[in-house]
Amino acid sequence: QVQLVESGGGLVQAGGSLRLSCAASGRTLSSYSMGWFRQAPGKEREFVAVIRWSGGSTYYADSVKGRFTISRDNAKLTVYLQMNSLKPEDKGVYYCAASPRWSYYSVDLASPDWYDYWGQGTQVTVSS
């Protein structure tokens, strides 16, 4: 079992920045994929970014590429999502997710079904 706890959400003006954190516990994460998803009211959960714990390979949704950066801290067992140049359409509940495997196919990494563990989510609101 892996427990995930997100933090760092809040209200920010368009163009601003936020950094989300996802603290993991429960077991070693060396083989894991760690992803961020978001969900706006009335919409499906949407892939944002993923990082391979071992090696640090990353993959981003086109909508956030160049604005968001995913990273991890091995010592703290924490994954971060640095969000810059935020837009009103970035608003939603952001979820951290973990999968005990990595895939070289983006369609896998971008699917919520790929992930076995989820955090409770943190709200991000971007005002225009």
Helix (H, G, I), strand (E, B), or coil: what is residue 8? coil
70: its two tokens: 């995913």
pLDDT of residue 2: 94
For 34-90, how does the pLDDT look when each residue is reduced to its tens digit (9 = 90+)? 999 999 999 999 999 999 999 899 999 999 999 999 999 989 999 999 999 999 999
Residue with tokens 């961020």: 36
* Nearest Cα to Cα of residue 35 among 17, 19, 53, 18: 53
Cα separation, 112 vs 98, whole angstroms = 10
Cα separation, 28 vs 48, whole angstroms = 23
Asked if 74 contacts 82 with a C-beta cutoff of 8 angstroms, the reply is no
Of 27-31, 64-68, 80-84, 110-114, the poorest mean pLDDT is in 27-31
